[in-house]
Every structure is written in structure tokens, then in C-alpha cells.
Chain A
Amino acid sequence: MTDIKNVTIQDITLTEVRSFAVNIGQCTAYDGASDKDCNSSLFHIGNITFDNFTGDLAGKYVGNMQCSEDAGGCDGIEFGDIDLTKTSADTAVDDYKCSNVVDPIGFEC
């Protein structure tokens, strides 16, 4: 059962994006919290498609995705046509950093 689901994000142009194209995190907590447990959320994120992203960004990864282990991780995450370069460097950005991303579609963690 999925609590954030059926999301399609397509035909996105990035111009000098400052960090990653896609960031997923299950870590939001009270500012004063120490030792927050980023694997404790029971919110399940799934069925999210990212397709036709072009442009440039400063971040090292297309996707930086940290999903909660207690929620069973994220699944149904798909990246389609991604054509991104590093700002002012012209090198391709095509890496993905993942934690608890189950069965990635169209990309490799």
C-alpha cells in the first residue's frame, strides 16, 4: 500500500539547479531533535516516474533518494530519458544515490 503514489514528472528543464535534480528524504524532524531515525517513517513512497529531464545542475547525482526501511523502502521509482550536465563543466550527470530504493526502473543505484 502506497501513501505517496502515481506521480509523473515530465518534460522538465533545469537551468543552473543548485543541487540534485530529484531529492527524496524521509528525515524531516523537529529542529532540536538529535539522533533522528531516517528509517522510522511508515510513509510509503511509490510509483513515481521522472521522464525527459534536460539541462544543467551543480549536484553530483540525478537522484539522491533516501527511503525509510520501516516503510519497506520506495518502489516503482522510474527514471526515463534523462540528459543532464554539470553546470559550467559539460560533463554528464547520470549517477543515482539510493538507500532502500526497491527495484529501480530505468536507472542504477
Chain B
Amino acid sequence: MHSSNVLMEDIYVNSTSHSGNPARNTDGLDTLFSDNITLRRWLVDNGDDGISLKANSTNVVLEDSVLRRGQGFALGSIGQYKGAFETIENVTVRNVSMINTNFAVNIKTWTGDQVNYPPNGGGGGLGCKLAGIW
């Protein structure tokens, strides 16, 4: 979170379950409020999002990597905080192998209605349109 100009290469993340229970909330990496991030040669074997870019992640490159068994590569979920301006911009994902993941790519936003509160509830987030930026 809140990082910029970061390079992370040759990383192995394993967060899997050996019981019958699913490996929930085991995201390999989440980026938040981060800019200019390069991820190269990652191997993530997990149950939830392999790598997820969340609010205000910009200029991100993911390449030459493998995601296994989890939910794949995610953009979001985003828009959880009512009235908050959030964005995800300028992302390149290239040469990635998705092995037995649920999706290759999953892009998800919260609905426009707020129900309950974060961390488990929320909704009603905005993008730049209503924030009047740009």
C-alpha cells in the first residue's frame, strides 16, 4: 500500500489448504494506492485472488508469471467506500500462465448501494466522474 516505483521479481507465494476447507482470503498480492509497480516471475499458488489490483493502483506491469489454483488475476474489488474516488489505470499483464485458476481475469466492483460497512460491507464508491477530477 502507498508505494511507488517498486520492482518485485522471482517471488513464490503459497497459501493453500490441506484440510477440506477452502483457502479463503489468501490473496497472493494486493496493491492499493500504489504507482509504478513491476512484478516479474511470480508464482502464486493459493485459494483467493492470485494477484489483485485494488483502489488507486496505477502503472502496473505483471509479466512472466504463473498463477495456480486460486481466483486468477483480479482488478478489484473496488468501489467499496461510499463517495470515495478510486481508479485503476494503465495496467499491462503479459505472458502469464493461469493453471487451474477459477478465471484467468476477474474484474469486480461493488454495487452503487451501500449495505453495511467495510470490511465486510460497503458499496457506493465513485470513480472520477462524480468527483469532478480531470
Contacts and interface: CB of A to CB of B under 8 A. Distances in A.
B96 interface: yes
A25 B99 CA distance: 22
B104 A29 contact: no
Contact of B113 (A9, A36, A43): A36
Interface in B41-74: 72-73
B95 A11 contact: yes
Interface string B63-99: 0000000001101111110000011111111111111
Q: How large is the interface on A (under 10, 10 to 19, 20 to 34, 35 or more residues)?
A: 35 or more
A4 B123 contact: no
A101 interface: no
B129 A24 contact: no
B100 A18 contact: yes
Given A43-B78, A43-B79, A45-B107, A15 B87 contact: no
B42 to A, nearest CB: 14
A13 to B, nearest CB: 5
A25 to B, nearest CB: 5
Contacts, number: 182
A27 interface: yes
Contacts of A44: 127, 129
B127 A14 contact: no
B76 A23 contact: no
Given A10-B94, A15-B99, A4 B115 contact: no
A38 B113 CA distance: 9
Contact of A26 (B108, B115, B129): B108
Most chain B CB within a 10 A radius of its CB, from A3, A5, A12, A68: A3
19 contacts: A3-B78, A3-B128, A7-B75, A9-B92, A9-B104, A10-B94, A15-B97, A18-B102, A23-B105, A28-B109, A30-B116, A31-B120, A36-B113, A36-B115, A41-B125, A42-B129, A42-B130, A43-B110, A45-B109
